[in-house]
Amino acid sequence: MTFDRLIRQMTNSIVEGDGPRAASYFAEDGFYHDVFYGVFKKPAIPDLVENYFHKDAENFEWEICETSSNGHTGFARYIFSYDSKMPESLGKRAIFEGVAICDLTSNSISSYREVANVYTGLLMLGFNADRLSKLAGRQVDSLKTSVSYEHLRS
């Protein structure tokens, strides 16, 4: 299966709320690192889809704009949107642009992570400055623990 087809099928299964199907696109030791909810290993991906994504939002759209892969790593630029079900932003639409970075193994995803402009969507939901600052702080902490950050400091 091509990476383009793999990422489109995986994201479609998330939009449809089918957690087990989303997990089926991952290697046995694979994981999904969501920019908001953190890391979910393959057995927990159905929980991420059904009890996080679809608990907090509805009317998902996940447009894969373009993809690229060398067979080991796949990239997908996307536009992701939803209507909030959270009480403080009920019914408001959030729109995010990002890039998914996937490590690939034998026609499956061994790791999925995102680089996304989350602040546009969160502002659309009405998140206040303190809440946005906390999210930014978590992203800074995550970046500092990455291998590439230590390399850049030298």
Instruction: Report the distance separating Cα 12 and Cα 3, nearest Å.
Output: 14
**Rounded distance, CA 125 to CA 62, Å?**
18
Bridge-based pairing state of the strands 57-69 and 73-84: antiparallel
Structure pTM?
0.87
Asked whether residue 153 is assigned to any structural domain, the reply reads no
Residue 150 lies in a domain: no
Q: What confidence tens digit (pLDDT) does each residue in 5-32 have?
A: 999 999 999 999 999 999 999 999 999 9
Is there a domain that residue 13 lies in? yes
CB of 35 closer than 8 Å to CB of 100: no
CA–CA distance, 80 with 61 (Å, rounded to integer): 6
**In this predicted model, what pLDDT tens digit does every residue of 113-124 receive, in sequence order?**
999 988 889 999
Query: Is 133 within the bounds of a domain?
Result: no
Q: Which helix (H) or strand (E) holds 152?
A: helix 147-153
Residue 134 lies in a domain: no
Answer yes or no: is 109 within a domain.
Answer: yes
Q: How sure is the predictor about 154, in pLDDT bands with cuts at 50, 70 and 90?
A: very low
At 21, which CATH number? 3.10.450.50
In sequence order, the 6+-apart residues with CB closer than 8 A to the CB of 106 are: 27
Per the structure, the count of domains in the chain is 1
Is residue 137, in this structure, part of any structural domain at all? no
What pLDDT, on a 0 to 100 scale, did the predictor assign at position 148?
58
Q: Determine, yes or no, domain membership for 21.
A: yes
What do you get for the CA distance between the two ends of the chain, in Å? 40
The whole domain housing 104 covers 3-127
